[in-house]
């Protein structure tokens, strides 16, 4: 019980920080007098009161976190913060159900980008900004933020960070102290966001849209303040800015940090994920552009390249923007894009999916097995850069892929059983687990998730959390061994 109370004490402080982040849209609502200030005022009060009450009840329980505590804290944060994040939405949209309001907040905080809302162009600035801000906060992870700005927690932050950050960053000591690591990552994240805001403004957006879309571009969340997404501007320059920063967001932020600290671009060269990441995305843009031109979807090759490039980068990086309804393209194109969303982004990025580093390990292991079959005595280690990948890591990647595929199959079957057609069910599962957002058919880029039932929405919400926490962090809490002394 003391373990749980210690975790609850830290959770309370994270809830308090989250409540304070609502002051930004509240200030916008108060200044613009758009009628939503009372909505945010009430949400802030509820969030801060809950956080303060938990903090007071658990103030005596402070100790060093164990590995198990870190996992529990992360799961509780990602289950509870969407509840507080949905409060302004639930009060402003009384017609939507609890399930759909929770989905919207979960989609934002997991940087997924699927939405149940329509009429985005007419929403108050404060509501759209809150949606974008949640994407931005969730993109890097509120846990990392808490470790960075709450040294008064009085507990070790390494187990929190280890449970929160996917991939090799779990073992990367970028700076001697974990708080300094978190601060460094957030410094790079904020700096890139500011540069993105300026770039969008210079490209033709107004200041509000520039800020809103910078949040969701670097967070790879895909929320927009317009129903038509980037089709609203129909601007190749704005789309080019989005492509550049989506590609940046898909790179490991540890690498960005090392580049900033070393004042050299050499860390990009040695990152084992960047070369295959750019090669696959670039090749896919060219191939799909040629395919769309050849099949007559676009008669001009440059136009085909424009639309293929924007949507390929958006889907491959699991952002979810669109400048055309690609669900109307020949089925090969959107299916290939969904396939890319499963592995293109780097570990330690704000993207979803299996991650490029795991895909590269699997690819090399395949050829290792081929060589072993032909030459049983040959020694052919799997390498990432100059480092040999241990067999235990390769086995862990295989298990991860197994869980990923089983989860995909089971959730597709459940959604099909609930009444969705096969394409919608499959694409909803892929889009949710990969934290992509839009899918195909009923949930294509020109539509929303509003047509789904509450049961289907809950399945998608669970899938988003599974994908964001990379399965183990969430599933391990439901095992008997986790709760055993």
369 SS3 class: helix
Looking at every residue in the chain, the average pLDDT score rounds to 88
- Is the predicted pLDDT of residue 298 greater than 90, yes or no? yes
- CA 388 from centre of chain: 29
Look at 166-170, 233-237, 437-441 and tell me which has the smallest mean pLDDT. 166-170
pLDDT tens digit string along 102-112? 999 999 999 99
Q: Where residue 390 falls among pLDDT bands split at 50, 70, 90?
A: confident
Q: At 6, phi and psi to the nearest 5?
A: -65, -40
Quick one: pLDDT at residue 414?
97
What tokens were used for 329?
Answer: 């393209």
Phi, psi dihedrals of residue 384, rounded to the nearest 5°: -120, 105
Residue 482 vs residues 423, 475, 478: alpha-carbon distances, Å: 37, 10, 7
State the pLDDT at residue 173.
52
Higher pLDDT, 483 or 358: 358
Rounded-to-integer distance, Cα 96 and Cα 76, Å: 24
Calpha distance 272→291 (Å, rounded): 30
Selection from 6-15, 165-174, 307-316, 381-390 with the highest mean pLDDT:
307-316
pLDDT band at 247 (very low <50, low <70, confident <90, very high): very high
pLDDT at 234: 93
The pLDDT, as a whole number, for residue 394 is: 86
For the residues 103-130, what does the mean pLDDT come to?
Answer: 93
Q: Phi first, then psi: what are they for 397, rounded to 5°?
A: -65, -40
Query: Which range has the top average pLDDT, 178-192, 244-258, 275-289, 396-410?
Result: 275-289
Query: Which pLDDT value is given to residue 485?
Result: 65
Q: What is the pTM of this model?
A: 0.90
More confident residue, 195 or 67: 195
Give the C-alpha separation, 306 to 289, whole Å: 8
pLDDT digits (tens, 9 = 90+) for 173-201: 555 566 677 778 888 999 999 999 999 99
Q: Which of 463, 425, 418, 459 is nearest to 442 (CA)?
A: 425
Q: What would the mean pLDDT of 240-245 be, rounded to a whole number? A: 97
Q: What pLDDT shows up at residue 157?
A: 47
CA–CA distance, 26 with 201 (Å, rounded to integer)? 23
Res. 61: pLDDT tops 90? no
Distance from the Cα of residue 137 to its chain's centroid: 10
- With 90 as the cut, is the pLDDT of residue 482 above it? no
In this model, does residue 235 exceed pLDDT 50?
yes
471: left (phi over 0), alpha (psi -120 to 50) or beta: left
- pLDDT for 150 equals 46
Write down the H helix ranges in 219-341.
236-249, 253-262, 266-270, 274-294, 301-316, 332-340
Angular region, 322: left φ>0, alpha ψ -120 to 50, beta rest: beta
- Please tell me the distance from the alpha carbon of residue 395 to that of residue 253, in angstroms, as a whole number: 26
Q: 435: burial class by Cβ within 10 Å (0-12, 13-18, 19+)?
A: buried
Q: What value does the mean pLDDT take over residues 251-269?
A: 88
Element (H, E) at 32: helix 23-32
Closest CA to 281 of 306, 308, 242: 308
pLDDT tens across 129-188, in order? Answer: 999 999 999 887 755 655 554 443 444 445 555 555 555 444 455 555 666 777 788 889
């Amino acid at each position: 019980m003391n373990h749980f109370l210690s975790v609850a004490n830290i959770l309370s402080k994270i809830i308090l920080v989250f409540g304070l982040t609502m002051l930004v849209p509240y200030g916008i609502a108060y200044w613009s007098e758009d009628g939503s200030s009372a909505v945010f005022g009430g949400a802030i009060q509820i969030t801060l009161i809950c956080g303060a009450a938990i903090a007071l009840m658990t103030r005596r329980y402070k100790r060093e976190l164990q590995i198990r505590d870190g996992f529990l804290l992360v799961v509780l944060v990602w289950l509870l913060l969407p509840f507080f994040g949905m409060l302004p939405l639930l009060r402003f949209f009384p017609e939507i159900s609890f399930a759909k309001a929770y989905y919207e907040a979960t989609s934002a905080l997991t940087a997924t980008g699927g939405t149940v809302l329509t009429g985005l162009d007419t929403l108050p600035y404060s509501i759209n900004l809150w949606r974008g801000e949640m994407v931005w906060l969730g993109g890097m992870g509120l846990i990392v933020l808490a470790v960075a700005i709450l040294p008064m927690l009085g507990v070790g932050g390494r187990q929190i960070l280890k449970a929160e950050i996917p991939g090799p960053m779990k073992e990367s000591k970028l700076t001697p102290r974990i708080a300094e690591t978190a601060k460094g990552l957030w410094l790079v994240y904020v700096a890139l966001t500011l540069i993105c805001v300026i770039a969008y403004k210079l490209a033709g957006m107004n200041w509000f849209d520039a800020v809103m879309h910078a949040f969701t571009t670097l967070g790879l969340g895909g929320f927009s303040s317009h129903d038509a997404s980037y089709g609203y501007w129909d601007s190749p320059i704005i789309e080019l800015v989005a492509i550049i920063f989506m590609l940046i967001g898909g790179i490991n932020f540890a690498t960005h940090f090392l580049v900033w600290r070393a004042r050299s671009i050499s860390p990009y060269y040695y990152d084992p994920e960047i070369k295959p990441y750019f090669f696959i995305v670039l090749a896919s843009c060219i191939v799909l552009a040629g395919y769309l031109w050849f099949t007559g979807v676009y008669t001009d090759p440059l136009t085909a390249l424009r639309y293929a490039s924007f949507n390929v980068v958006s889907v491959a990086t699991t952002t979810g923007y669109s400048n055309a309804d690609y669900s109307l393209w020949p089925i090969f194109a959107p299916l290939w894009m969904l396939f890319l969303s499963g592995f293109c982004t780097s570990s330690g990025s704000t993207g979803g999916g299996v991650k490029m580093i795991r895909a590269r390990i699997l690819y090399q292991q395949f050829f290792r097995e081929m060589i072993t079959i032909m030459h049983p005595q040959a020694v052919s280690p799997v390498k990432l850069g100059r480092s040999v990948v241990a067999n235990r890591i390769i086995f862990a990647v295989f298990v991860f892929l197994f869980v990923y595929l089983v989860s995909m199959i089971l959730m597709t079957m459940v959604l099909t059983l609930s009444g969705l057609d096969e394409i919608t069910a499959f694409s909803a599962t892929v889009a949710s687990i990969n934290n992509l957002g839009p899918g195909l058919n009923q949930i294509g880029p020109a539509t929303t998730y509003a047509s789904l039932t509450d049961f289907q929405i809950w399945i998608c919400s669970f899938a988003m959390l599974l994908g964001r926490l990379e399965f183990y962090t969430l599933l391990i809490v439901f095992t008997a061994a986790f709760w055993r002394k």
